[in-house]
Amino acid sequence: MTDTLAPVKPGRLLINGEAVDSASGKTFTTYNPATEEAITTVASAGAEDVDRAVKAARAAFEGPWGKMKPSDRQRVLFKLGDLILANAEELGRLETMDNGKPIFESKLIDAPMAANCFHYFAGWATKIHGDTLPVNPAFLNYTLREPLGVVGAIIPWNFPMIMVGWKCAPALAAGNCVVLKPAELTPLTALRIGELALEAGLPPGVLNILPGPGSVAGEALVRHPGVDKISFTGSTEIGKHLMKSAADSVKKLTLELGGKSPNIVFADADLDAALRGATTGIFYGKGEVCAAGSRLLVEKSIYDDFVAKLAERAKKMQPADPLDPKTRLGAIVSEKQMNTVLGYVDIGAKEGAKVVAGGARQPVNGKGYFVQATVLADVNNQMRVAQEEIFGPVLAVIPFDGVDDAVRIANDSVFGLAAGVWTNNVKKAHEVARRLQAGTVWINAYNFYDAGMPFGGYKQSGFGRDLGPDCLDDYTQVKSVWVNLE
């Protein structure tokens, strides 16, 4: 059992370095999905708050942040990384209460990953530069790589703390100011990181945080003429909508959207490792992971045996109290999401899939939106459970016959976010990696991330990149300067 939790203070908006109520005075309640109890209330941002935040961000961009030496920006961002690590226990608990994910993940993986983003991109603050270009001896030609100005960042509920790092660290390192809108279901860690950012020395207005409904605060941010770019992570459906909303002001966009990622197991793989990779590939983060290996493609010659072992492993992964450090399967983020996930189990069964593990709600201590680790066998790739993102602990297992068949099935999806390949044949591994339409391919591994490695989608999984050196292109613009020397 976990110890009694200290009450969480009400959340307020962060605008221009100050914690404030929303202009309308509106608040919403955020709930713990493991206990179904209210955690606290949070101020709910509207269009007026967005306007104030964008103006504060612009003033900071034209003022202290824009004038700061890159080496000073670097120091502040690095310190924020340190503060996130130093507060990992508190951040982990807040994240677990708000999202339902195991504290094992939020404290030991998510908080360090968020810190890793600030540490890594702090280093870039002093290394973003233009070029001198040999064009014509009569001219000096050079480029300036400049920040965009004000970046609006809109993030989902599945990795609230990590997403703050993914979006804010590169945007700030490149010299932009940010207005961040966390998901309405999980605003708490972003607000706490906002406090830590001030403690680290970020000038007021550089990072503003506005929890609130997507249809109100998110929409106002996307439509605001003072915002230069929107960096969005969320569903493909909302991503498509944002492309239309952003068109009026020709805003730059980065879209990190949904996925239905194939995890391919060849008969010549290390099957114990593949089994572990298949399990963590889908059940890590309760399957509420954009890159979850939610379609498991298994070669026919090993299919029956592999599925039997997988079902055995899944049955051992019992949902439990997310605040218990031993728990590996937490609560689904909300009742609505739980019902969506369970609805897909029914759809799969009706389509002819066999439920070989899980498939039901399983409250913990009589409460909570917990869903069992679920394995659907005998799925074919045309079924809805193979084509649509479920975003829960539900694995669809599909048989295949040889390399061409595996690649054909894997690429037969509107999505292209990530993929896994399990084989001990080096040639086959690299050939398949090249042929897969996916932004990330893991070979004999799954679900590895690092601030230094770009992440993003092919096809309807989006465009632009988070992380790695490549994402800095999406947070800067190039100016060509011609100097007449004659």
Chain residues binding ligand NAD by CB under 6 A are 154-159, 181, 183-184, 214-215, 218-219, 222, 233-235, 238, 241-242, 256-259, 290, 389, 391, 417, 457, 461-462
From CA 199, how far away is CA 83, in angstroms rounded?
8
Give the tokens for residue 287.
């399957």
Of the candidates 117, 290, 389, 471, the residue annotated as catalytic is: 290
Asked if residues 296 and 339 have their Cβ atoms less than 8 Å apart, the reply is: no
Residue type at 58 in one-letter notation = R
Min. distance of Cβ 212 from ligand NAD in angstroms?
A: 8
Of the candidates 95, 105, 184, 256, the residue annotated as catalytic is: 256
Using the minimum distance from each CB to ligand NAD, give the nearer residue, 174 or 290: 290
Min. distance of Cβ 391 from ligand NAD in angstroms?
A: 6
Q: How distant is the alpha carbon of residue 240 from its chain centre?
A: 17
Min. distance of Cβ 435 from ligand NAD in angstroms?
A: 21
Give the tokens for residue 210.
């506005």
Min. distance of Cβ 474 from ligand NAD in angstroms?
A: 13
Using the minimum distance from each CB to ligand NAD, give the nearer residue, 212 or 399: 212
Q: Dihedral (C-alpha) 382, 387, 393, 394: value to the nearest 10 degrees?
A: -10
Min. distance of Cβ 50 from ligand NAD in angstroms?
A: 11
From CA 418, how far away is CA 457, in angstroms rounded?
7
Using the minimum distance from each CB to ligand NAD, give the nearer residue, 148 or 155: 155
Min. distance of Cβ 190 from ligand NAD in angstroms?
A: 10
Min. distance of Cβ 232 from ligand NAD in angstroms?
A: 7
Residue type at 256 in one-letter notation = E
- HSE-CB at 263 with a 13 A cutoff on CA atoms is 23
Residue 163: CB partners within 8 Å, gap ≥ 6?
A: 155, 156, 233
From CA 374, how far away is CA 368, in angstroms rounded?
17
Residue 290 annotated in active site: yes
CA distances from 398 to 265, 301, 306 (A): 10, 13, 11
Residue type at 386 in one-letter notation = A
Give the tokens for residue 92.
């982990």
Using the minimum distance from each CB to ligand NAD, give the nearer residue, 126 or 245: 245
From CA 184, how far away is CA 192, in angstroms rounded?
15
- HSE-CB at 143 with a 13 A cutoff on CA atoms is 14
- Report which DSSP code applies to 364: B
Give the tokens for residue 66.
């824009």
Using the minimum distance from each CB to ligand NAD, give the nearer residue, 94 or 257: 257
Using the minimum distance from each CB to ligand NAD, give the nearer residue, 119 or 181: 181
Min. distance of Cβ 162 from ligand NAD in angstroms?
A: 9
From CA 32, how far away is CA 160, in angstroms rounded?
14
Residue type at 107 in one-letter notation = K
CA-based nearest residue to 171, from 478, 454, 485, 476? 476
Residue 62 annotated in active site: no
Using the minimum distance from each CB to ligand NAD, give the nearer residue, 183 or 209: 183
From CA 85, how far away is CA 91, in angstroms rounded?
9
Using the minimum distance from each CB to ligand NAD, give the nearer residue, 157 or 303: 157
Which residues are known catalytic residues? 256, 290
